[in-house]
Amino acid sequence: MTAIRRAFDVALLLAVLAAIWQGLYMFAGDVAIASPAETVRHVFVLLERPRFWGHIEETLSAFAYALVISWAGGVGIGVWLGAHRLSGEVAEPILVALYSLPKVTLYPLILLVFGLGMPAKVAFGAIHGIIPVTIFTMNAVRNIRPVYVKAARVLRLSPQQTVTGVLLPATLPEVVSGLRVGFSLTLLGVLIGEMFASKRGLGFLIINAIGLNDVETMMAVTLLLFVFAAAANAFLLALDRRLHKRV
């Protein structure tokens, strides 16, 4: 019953979004925005073009590398800063300042270091995602309740058993929240990177379509990205909620 209700709610939300979209289309006209039906049709047109799949592959590769760096780097640095109080206290204000900084201001520097192409996109995606993952992980480690560590000692656990059996599961809910935020921001970073300095990828396709006023392509690529991000986020959010429900 709950699953049916949830499916109904999702369908209703999608219908409302489509109705708003259609309303905007009717208000602004096809010079500014494509209709939902036309956008969906154009998605299939794009998917039939072999060159389009090259752009998808380019974006997905850059995103995968950037995501691995943000998740692994963020968790590693976060654990270190959370466990080492002085380092955490020194790094926290710097991390918060970097988090609020529009990363696009760093893009010229990244281009100078990495040049045009895949490495710059990966670096730009990673700097977007790594900071929230670090901050969430650092707080997760700091917020471990001391009584869990005492309980581990009373249960006579080895250091390895304490880490795998107590510390890791105790921090997991907050870390997964960080990974979820990191996922979205890494994707955003890769796409912005492709929009500003790239000749391939979905971000490039969008900025190119904007330049040519190819509204249908712009809307179709955006819709595809929306579907991908929403599906991945729904999975991570479900995992996040499941873990938080137990805490």
In the bound complex, what is the minimum distance in angstroms from residue 153's beta carbon to another protein? Answer: 6
Please identify, using beta-carbon distances, which residue of 4 and 247 lies nearer to another protein: 247
Please identify, using beta-carbon distances, which residue of 13 and 158 lies nearer to another protein: 158
> How is 50-102 classified by DSSP, letter by letter?
HHHHHHHHHHHHHHHHHHHHHHHHHHHHHHHHHHSHHHHHHHHHHHHHHHHS-
H or E stretch covering 144: none
In the bound complex, what is the minimum distance in angstroms from residue 147's beta carbon to another protein? Answer: 4
- The packing angle between helices 107-114 and 168-196, to 10°, is 80
Binding residues for another protein (CB under 8 A): 145, 147-148, 150-151, 153-157, 161, 165-166, 169-170, 172, 243, 245-247
The amino acid that residue 75 corresponds to is V
In the bound complex, what is the minimum distance in angstroms from residue 139's beta carbon to another protein? Answer: 17
In the bound complex, what is the minimum distance in angstroms from residue 69's beta carbon to another protein? Answer: 28
In the bound complex, what is the minimum distance in angstroms from residue 90's beta carbon to another protein? Answer: 16
Q: How far is CA 189 from CA 87, 91, 143, 146, 245, in A?
A: 27, 22, 29, 37, 31
Please identify, using beta-carbon distances, which residue of 115 and 169 lies nearer to another protein: 169
- Alpha helical stretches, state H, the chain: 2-28, 36-47, 50-83, 85-100, 107-114, 118-142, 146-154, 159-162, 168-196, 202-211, 215-245
Please identify, using beta-carbon distances, which residue of 98 and 166 lies nearer to another protein: 166
Please identify, using beta-carbon distances, which residue of 96 and 161 lies nearer to another protein: 161
